[in-house]
Amino acid sequence: MCSLKEAVFILEQRGRTIDIKTLRTLTYHFADKARCAQKTEMALTAENVEGKRCAVSLDGGRIRIRAAKRGKRTAKNRRRYQADWREPKLFHIWVLDDDGTISKSFSPWIDGTMNGPDAVFMLLAYYLAAIGITTARQVLFIADGAPWIWLRIPALVEKLCIDPAKVRQIVDFYHAVEHLNAVAALRKGWNEKRRRQWVSRQTRYLWTGKNDEVVQAVREITRGRNSKLINREKSYFENNLPRMQYAKARNCKLPIGSGPMESAIRRVINLRMKGNGIFWLEKNAESMIMLRSYYKAGRWNDLFHLATSVAVKVVK
């Protein structure tokens, strides 16, 4: 639901009266039991991806986490707090049909955590092992150019014993185009028409597989008072050049954009956990991410099985 208040209203319509405080306690306890079951490495009842093409993507969102602030209480004797922005990290696993579209016969897996990159990759390894990722015909990792993602993928592949020959890595094409626009915007002597022409030309080079020409074009304009900023963008293209083989990806019927991941961030995080005046305790945010992820992926029954199939003691 969009809020606990809405959930209480729906339950009342179904003849189940419950107050918000009790519902909140039950909700977070349910999520805690499921998370504890994962930590005991309880196996998921997951479909196997043997012989299928599997896509994996990761990204981060933004929510505000509430933390107590030192100092005197308010005039109404309330504790002061601060609400800094934090980045919850999510992953999305789905299966591709032979034409490169999302398979309708396989419900995706979505989950995430507030505990940083290493924690989300440990969680991802748990899910990939559960679906038998080593038996997949092909494994595609697709995401934006965030270093925290690409630096950890080789270790993940080695840990799960995935055949490297099956693995493909692609940087989201549309994120790459955003970086081209950022480079053009840093050229102070260019008018808007020249910027559009330059970006259009480099986008066409990326699309057709002429990546070296893109890097060379960025190198040629790395000068002037914004040279340091342009040099940072140049490093982005140089570091991700092997992951920008978009023409080859299209020929292999592979996606070149991480749209499903962007959609997951919006549905799981933005539509429920991010907004004006919304602050979360970190523990509660962790629970809500899991609940929303399973619900939006159409896997509520899997979460129910995870939380109730074994007796797990939740440590407060």
The model's confidence at residue 26, banded by pLDDT at 50, 70 and 90, is very high
pLDDT(314) > 60: no
Identify the CA nearest to 55 among candidates 119, 131, 113.
Answer: 131
Give the model confidence (pLDDT) of 117-137 as tens digits: 999 999 999 999 999 999 999
Query: Do 156 and 183 form a contact (C-beta atoms < 8 A)?
Result: no
Pair of tokens at residue 315: 């440590």
| Residue in this structure with the two tokens 């989300």, named with its chain if needed | 120
The model's confidence at residue 312, banded by pLDDT at 50, 70 and 90, is low
Per-residue burial over 284-293, b if 16 or more Cβ lie within 10 Å, else e, is bbbbbbbbbb
Give the integer Cα–Cα distance in Å for 105 and 146: 31
Give the integer Cα–Cα distance in Å for 254 and 98: 9
What is the residue-averaged pLDDT of the chain? Answer: 92
- The more confidently predicted of residues 142 and 314 is 142
Maximum Cα–Cα distance across the chain: 69
Domain regions of the chain by residue span? 42-69+80-171+257-308, 175-243
Rg (CA), the chain: 23
Look at residue 17 in the predicted model and tell me its pLDDT: 93
pTM: 0.91
Q: Which residues does 110 contact at the CB level (< 8 Å), separation at least 6?
A: 90, 91, 92, 93, 264, 268, 293, 294, 296, 297
Sequential DSSP letters for 177-235: HHHHHHHHHT-TT--HHHHHHHHHHHHHHHHHT-HHHHHHHHHHT--STTHHHHHHHHH
Pick the CATH number of 42-69+80-171+257-308 from 3.30.160, 1.10.3470, 3.30.420, 3.30.1380: 3.30.420
Q: Which residues does 3 contact at the CB level (< 8 Å), separation at least 6?
A: none
Look at residue 44 in the predicted model and tell me its pLDDT: 73
The model's confidence at residue 272, banded by pLDDT at 50, 70 and 90, is very high
